[in-house]
Chains A and B, each alone.
Chain A
């Protein structure tokens, strides 16, 4: 038995946390927008963390006012920065709204339906309950918020007079 055991190698068949967090086609389950929200939540979370480091670096320049002013001038002129800001705005809006949904669902058990006896077409109660509607609300509000953020960023409405 021991010789047989030493010969047999088990195949590790785990996709890993990174692939599971970014690949929406890893598991193609039907009727599951929750997974898309999970992936978007992770991706936007990473964007926000990266922005946070950048933000700390940029605000560390406030000690020197001349340098700060020149940095802000550069920032206002560069379209790359504006696109970056647009992406961060979208990430923050989505992550915040979806975070509220997740807080309600995960800590207070809101919107996951009630247990029931299985009957055709066998769709789990949590996939039909209020949290599913909350997903659509979050998606719509995020898109609307992102569009408004885009208008504010690209039209220069947010730029402070220097």
Chain B
């Protein structure tokens, strides 16, 4: 489990992958209920990711394979799969990092702890419902402050720094898939929702912490966590849900004992004391380098040879 460090993993990703790898995909047919592993041989190239390999399989070998993806660059969080028993984003996992000449087999499975719709596509319905359950938005005693939104809430960089890490979550579900508690308790809110609960409780703009603490202070809430920290180890965005849950639990524990009170709640920024400084901007009329008027330059016809 700790055989390879993160540095070794990153280093391996820069190497040339084996010329041909076998992608072993766990497949599921919902109509017949059949589950099986299918092997596909894929020719690789340097920098090839698991998603590239899956798309190549879908395009050239087997059109029936189903996966979910969108942005291909680790932003959308749609392509979460389990690669060699590690929940990873398919678009962020290099073939070279998970396969070698000695072992050119990569096992790709759908995310654990999620119901599977077909092949590699997991049903995120419950996962999103749990995220919704913790009220992931700014709550104010006066809702007009948010809804009308005439001015911004004051938040200094230190306050932002406290929650910035946790606000990077892309809801890919990898932490939920890796969690040993989610593996046995389908009602457990999960690392993602709990980390977001902490992110909003710790937010200086938020006043809904009491409601949120009531939601997480249950047997399926933050107390269910056992700090296996696999959520933080697999998170592709360094969100660190493990520490968020411990901080949340500390807040709940201290609040139950009567020692916790939210230190700071900011207000809406007041009107400006003096108007913003006006700066007169001038466009450069002349092209400084060539001495040509850019507007005239734009009017000129350019001959572009399209037949390369």
Contact = CB atoms under 8 A, between A and B. Distances in A.
A124 B115 contact: no
Interface in A7-33: 7-21, 24-33
Chain B: interface residue count, which band? 35 or more
Given A34-B230, A127-B233, A15 B6 contact: no
B67 interface: no
B243 A14 contact: no
Interface residues of A, number: 52
Nearest to A41: B226
Interface stretch (A62-70, A100-108, A147-155): A100-108
Contact of B85 (A26, A37, A129): A26
A78 to B, nearest CB: 36
A15 B115 contact: no
Nearest to A42: B226
A13 B1 contact: no
Contacts of A42: 226
Nearest to B32: A9
A146 B63 CA distance: 57
A123 interface: yes
B208 interface: no
A109 B85 CA distance: 30
A53 B203 CA distance: 48
A26 B1 CA distance: 10
Give the secondary structure class of A's interface. Answer: loop
B216 interface: no
Contacts of A126: 229, 232, 240, 242-243, 246
Contacts of A33: 1-2
Contact of A29 (B31, B164, B168, B230): B230
Given A26-B85, A27-B112, A106 B249 contact: yes
Nearest to A129: B243
A161 interface: no
Contact of A21 (B86, B178, B180, B250): B180
Contacts of A9: 30, 33
B152 to A, nearest CB: 22
Interface in B76-130: 84-87, 110-117, 122-123
Contact of A105 (B30, B178, B246): B246
Interface string A125-139: 111010000000000
